[in-house]
Each structure stands twice: as C-alpha cells, then as structure tokens.
C-alpha cells in the first residue's frame, strides 16, 4: 500500500509543478508579446534577441550543465540543488516565453 500512496503523492506534486511552470510560461509569453503587439519583423527579431540574451545570462550561471550532466545527476540518490533546478526552469520558461513557440508550434500554443 505504501508504494501506491507514494506514487500518488509524487504524481500530485509533479502535476502541481507542471501546472505552475505552464502558467509561468503562458504569463511570460502573454506579457512579452502582449505589450509589444508582435507587430512586424523588427519587433519580433528584437524580442527574440532579448530573450536570447536572457538565456545566455542564465546559461552563464551554470555553464557546465548540459543534458547529459542532468541525466547523470538524476541517477544519484541526492536531489539536484534547488539553484540548478530553478535555473533549468527559468531557461525553459524564458525560451518559450520569448519566442520558443514561433513557427509551426505557435498554433499549438494559442
């Protein structure tokens, strides 16, 4: 019975975290593209470049962290440091909020 309760608890927490991240992505996207109006290629280019600059700053905070490192870190018994987890979440939120959904995926988002 204990594994079932644990699985349900982790699933519930995972669902809450996923919901929060998606709401943050949507909020950043609405804020960025709402006040710019998304008018014209120059505005789009500028917004995407600002987002790229923010991503570069976030990557600078943890330059040695790549996907392979994250997988290796996840195989251990210790949880990842909260600063790394927050940085990874900020990278994802910024990527989508500042134009990661431009192109074919844009229809999915709206």
Q: Contact, 58 vs 87, CB < 8 A?
A: yes
Predicted confidence at residue 102, as pLDDT, reads: 56
Per-10-residue mean pLDDT of the chain, 110 residues long, equals 90 93 86 73 82 87 73 76 81 81 47
Predicted confidence at residue 109, as pLDDT, reads: 46
Name the region of 40 (left: φ>0; alpha: ψ -120 to 50; beta: rest): left
Predicted confidence at residue 104, as pLDDT, reads: 41
* DSSP 8-state class, residue 103: S
Predicted confidence at residue 15, as pLDDT, reads: 95
* DSSP 8-state class, residue 100: I
Number of H helices, E strands in the chain: 5, 0
The verdict on pTM exceeding 0.75 is no
Predicted confidence at residue 11, as pLDDT, reads: 95
**What residue segments make up the domains of the chain, in order of their start?**
2-109
| Sequential DSSP letters for 33-83 | HHHHTT-HHHHHHHHHHHHHHHHHHHHHHSTT--HHHHHHHHTSSSPPPHH
Q: How many residues does the chain have?
A: 110
The angle at the Cα of 82, spanning 60 to 48, to the nearest 5 degrees, equals: 40
Predicted confidence at residue 30, as pLDDT, reads: 82
């Amino acid at each position: 019975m204990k594994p079932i309760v644990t699985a349900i608890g982790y699933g519930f927490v995972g669902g809450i975290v996923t919901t929060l991240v998606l709401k943050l992505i949507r909020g950043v996207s609405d804020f960025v593209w709402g006040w710019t109006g998304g008018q014209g290629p120059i505005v789009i280019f500028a917004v995407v470049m600002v987002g790229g600059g923010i991503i570069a700053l976030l990557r600078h905070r943890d330059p040695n962290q790549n996907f392979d490192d994250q997988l290796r870190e996840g195989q251990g018994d210790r949880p990842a440091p909260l600063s790394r987890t927050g940085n990874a979440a900020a990278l994802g939120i910024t990527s989508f909020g500042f134009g990661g959904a431009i192109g074919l995926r844009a229809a999915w988002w709206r």
